[in-house]
């Protein structure tokens, strides 16, 4: 199984801050990397697929980059509705493993 490791596990930030979350794969996964946002009590929602492609309807302040083993999710200007947990997930090979999550909290 491909292990996905996110950092940090949690962070505190203020509205308007630029936030970066990192995801590292245990082996090269090319660009087969997706990012999801999950709010408490809700199902996850896809933000980014194929490393950098923005899902339809997702605000442009979200962006993804990287390939191979190292990836980042960036929120250019954090908004109140962005406080949530973020997960990366690889779709290079089954099982399609997720990272452990990064909780973004209000500072």
Partner 1 sequence: QVQLEQSGGEVKKPGASVKVSCKASGYSFTSYGICWVRQAPGEGLEWMGWISIYNGDTNYAQKFQGRVTMTTDTSTSTAYMELRSLRSDDTAMYYCARVIGTTYYYFDFWGQGTLVTVSS
**Residues near partner 1, by CB under 8 A:** 1, 31-32, 34, 36, 38, 43-46, 49-50, 53, 55, 87, 89, 91, 94-101
In the chain, helix, strand, coil percent, each to 5? 5, 50, 50
CB 37, min distance to partner 1, A:
12
Residue 82 in 3-state DSSP? helix
CB 72, min distance to partner 1, A:
17
- Of 44 and 68, nearer to partner 1 (C-beta) is 44
Say if residues 20 and 72 touch (Cβ distance below 8 Å).
yes
CB 76, min distance to partner 1, A:
22
- Of 18 and 59, nearer to partner 1 (C-beta) is 59
Residue count of the chain, please give it.
107
CB 87, min distance to partner 1, A:
6
Residue 86, token pair as written in the block: 């973020």
Residue 98, token pair as written in the block: 């997720």
């Amino acid at each position: 199984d491909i292990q996905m490791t996110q950092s940090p596990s949690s962070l505190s930030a203020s509205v308007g801050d630029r936030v970066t979350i990192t995801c590292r794969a245990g082996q090269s996964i090319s660009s087969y990397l997706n990012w999801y946002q999950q709010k408490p009590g809700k199902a996850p929602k896809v933000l980014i697929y194929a490393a950098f492609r923005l899902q339809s309807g997702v605000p442009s302040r979200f962006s993804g980059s990287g390939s191979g083993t190292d990836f980042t999710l960036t929120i250019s200007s954090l908004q109140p509705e962005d406080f949530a947990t973020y997960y990366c997930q690889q779709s290079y090979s089954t099982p399609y493993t997720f990272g452990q999550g990064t909780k973004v909290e209000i500072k």
